[in-house]
Amino acid sequence: MDKIKVGIVGYGTIGKRVADAVRLQNDMKLVGVTAHSYNYKMTSAQVKKIPIYKMPEAEELNNLKLAGDLNDLLKNVDIIVDCTRKKIGAENKEKYYLPNKIKAIFEGGEKADLADCSFVAQCNYDEAVGKDYIRVVSCNTTGLCRTLNAIKSKYGIDAVHATMIRRGADPWDIRHGPINAIVPVLELPSHHGPDVQTVLNNMPIFTTALSVSSTLMHLHSVTVDCKETPNVDEVLKLFENTTRIRVVDNASKVRSTAEIMEFAKELGRNRCDMPEIVIWKEAIGVTGNKLLYMQAIHQESDVVCENIDAIRAAMGFENGKVSIKKTNEALKIDYCKECTVE
């Protein structure tokens, strides 16, 4: 079978990771990535021999060696993964993908109606099969969908309330704060609840959010009113047995987002990422019909595998479970999940 020819537009936090991930799939070929400006990410891409295509609006690219411009890239791909900043994806769809009849995957910064469906592989893969435009939801929404989907299937859900404690900026981002403050989102509910509903229809969820002075991961404190009474041990097993969720415990000293990131370094994965949603064993609680848990979200990487599955779905690959399995194996996801919970 021919490999799927993939192009990446936007080579930032997500784009560079999707590029790496595509290169690890045996049914895909990375045709190239786009250059918008000169920087260490582009020079490193060149070192890795990834073909680089110039965007029309690119700034000075200095001594980068170019494989062509965006049009050259568009001519040679089956599908584009658009990892540009918020709203640029919508512009690119109009300017490039629609006129050239090219399928595209968009990221969670874009509005839901830009795409034919929003997507989290383990929740609604089937819905996305054969679609031209698929939107991978944001890192936070992806995290909520993965765990809530599992809980719903086992206990049913009457209501969800979640507080999202968000990292203030990504690790490389030196411009944004806060340096010393807790910053609530002064809008209730935050946008995350409605966004979950683009994947899990009718999920009754209400979210509040705030930002803190950390760069590593988001953390969610979640309360679920279940239809049936949950049980802590059972929930623990449920999470352990659900793909792309990882349970850690205090005994293994993974007590914070910092230690999750350090643990990711031990596992030796690419860029020291932690694509699984991480849940603390000791922070799962039940009171009456209410289930409480805390989960950590690696904002830079949890959606990368979703993009890979979305590519397959868009190209008509019908078996979601097989896609997830292929992606997981290639990216070492669910790798050594057992090694930090006794």
Residues with a catalytic annotation lie at 139
Which residue from 208, 219, 210, 305 is spatially nearest to 258, judged by alpha carbons?
Answer: 219
Q: Residue 56: is the preceding peptide bond cis (ω within 30°)?
A: no
Of these, 56, 156, 251, 322, which contacts its own copies (CB under 8 A)? 251
Shortest CB 23 distance to its own copies, Å: 12
User: Considering only residues 134-163, where is the footprint of its own copies by CB under 8 A?
Assistant: 159, 161, 163
Q: Does residue 49 touch its own copies according to CB under 8 A?
A: no
User: Considering only residues 209-248, where is the footprint of its own copies by CB under 8 A?
Assistant: 210, 212-217, 219, 221, 223, 248
Count CB atoms within 10 A of the CB of residue 285: 14
Q: Does residue 256 touch its own copies according to CB under 8 A?
A: yes
> How far, in Å, CA of 199 to CA of 192, rounded?
11
Shortest CB 67 distance to its own copies, Å: 17
Shortest CB 47 distance to its own copies, Å: 5
Residue whose token pair is 């060149």 = 46
Nearer to its own copies, 34 or 257 (CB): 257
Nearer to its own copies, 282 or 318 (CB): 282
State the Rg of the chain over Cα: 20
Q: Does residue 173 touch its own copies according to CB under 8 A?
A: yes
> How far, in Å, CA of 6 to CA of 23, rounded?
10
Total residues at interface with its own copies (CB under 8 A): 87
> How far, in Å, CA of 8 to CA of 30, rounded?
8
> How far, in Å, CA of 220 to CA of 188, rounded?
16
Q: Does residue 287 touch its own copies according to CB under 8 A?
A: yes
Nearer to its own copies, 227 or 265 (CB): 265
Q: Does residue 122 touch its own copies according to CB under 8 A?
A: no
Nearer to its own copies, 159 or 322 (CB): 159
> How far, in Å, CA of 289 to CA of 151, rounded?
12
Nearer to its own copies, 134 or 261 (CB): 261
Q: Does residue 266 touch its own copies according to CB under 8 A?
A: yes
Nearer to its own copies, 76 or 256 (CB): 256
x-marked contacts with its own copies along 62-101 as a string, rule CB under 8 A:
xx--------------------------------------
Residue whose token pair is 């409480």 = 292
Q: Does residue 44 touch its own copies according to CB under 8 A?
A: yes
Bridge-based pairing of strands 183-184 and 133-136 is unpaired
CB–CB of 142/124 below 8 Å? Answer: no
CB–CB of 118/198 below 8 Å? Answer: yes
Q: Which residues pair with 8 in a beta bridge?
A: 33, 81
Shortest CB 321 distance to its own copies, Å: 26
